[in-house]
Amino acid sequence: MEKKEKSNEIEEVEAFPFINGENIDLCPRNSKLAKVYVCWKNHPRVRKYARNVVPRTIEDQSKRFERRTEGLVDHISLDVWHKKDNKPIGQIGLSRIDWINSWANTFLQIGEPDYWNKDIGTEATELLVEYAFNELNLNKLHGGVAVDNIGSWSVAGKIGFKLEGVKKHEMYVDGKYVDTKIFQLLKEDWVKGKQD
C-alpha cells in the first residue's frame, strides 16, 4: 500500500490489479490518488510532451472520476503500479476508442521521472496491447509522439508499432514547433511478431 500525506494524517491507498505484469500491475484509477495525478500533470518535465499547458487542480482531477455518458466507454485509463516499491508511478490507456471500426489511440505517461529509462513503459505498453487485442478484440492501435521524445517512440518500436508517417509542426514545445511521429500496430502483425 502507498502511504501519502493528507493534512496531518497518513492515508493508505491500496492497489487493485486489473492486469498483472512482472514488475508492474495495471490498476483501475483511484480517486484517492487525485493529488498524485495533479502532481504528475503539473510536473515540468512530465508535462512537456504531454502538452499539459494549463495548470491542473485537484478539483479538475476529481471531476474526471464522474461518469459523463451512458453506453460504451471511449476511454480506458489505468494506473501503472510498481510492485516492488508498491506505489503508482504513471498512467496508461486507450482513448478515442472506435468500437465499430475496432481501433483506439494509446497513451502512456510515467509520472515519476525516477522510473524513466527502466523499461517500465515497455512492459506497461506490452500489457496494454495484449489487453486491447485479446480482451477488447480491437484490430488497430495508434499513437503520436513528438520526434524529440525519444523514450516514447523507442517503446513503440520495441513492441512492434510501425511508423505510419510524420506530421510536420504538430506540437509547440519549448518555443519551437516540432514534428510528431505517428505509429500504428495491427493485431495481425502483433500476432505474427509473437509467433516469431
pLDDT digits (tens, 9 = 90+) for 154-183: 898 899 999 999 999 998 888 899 999 999
> How much is the pLDDT for 19?
97
150 lies in which domain range? Answer: 2-195
Mean pLDDT value of segment 28-43: 88
Model pTM score? 0.84
Identity of residue 193: G
CA–CA separation, 90 and 21 (whole Å): 15
CATH number, position 164: 3.40.630.30
What cell does 68 get? Answer: 459523463
Per cent of the chain over pLDDT 90 is 58
> How much is the pLDDT for 2?
47
CA dihedral 159→160→164→166, nearest 10 degrees, is: 40
H/E stretch holding 44 reads: helix 44-47
Per cent of the chain over pLDDT 70 is 86
Residue 77, beta-bridge partner list: 93
For the chain, the domain total comes to: 1
Mean pLDDT value of segment 132-161: 91
* Residue-wise pLDDT tens digits, 90-104: 999 999 999 999 999
What does DSSP say about strands 140-146 and 103-110: parallel, antiparallel, or unpaired? parallel
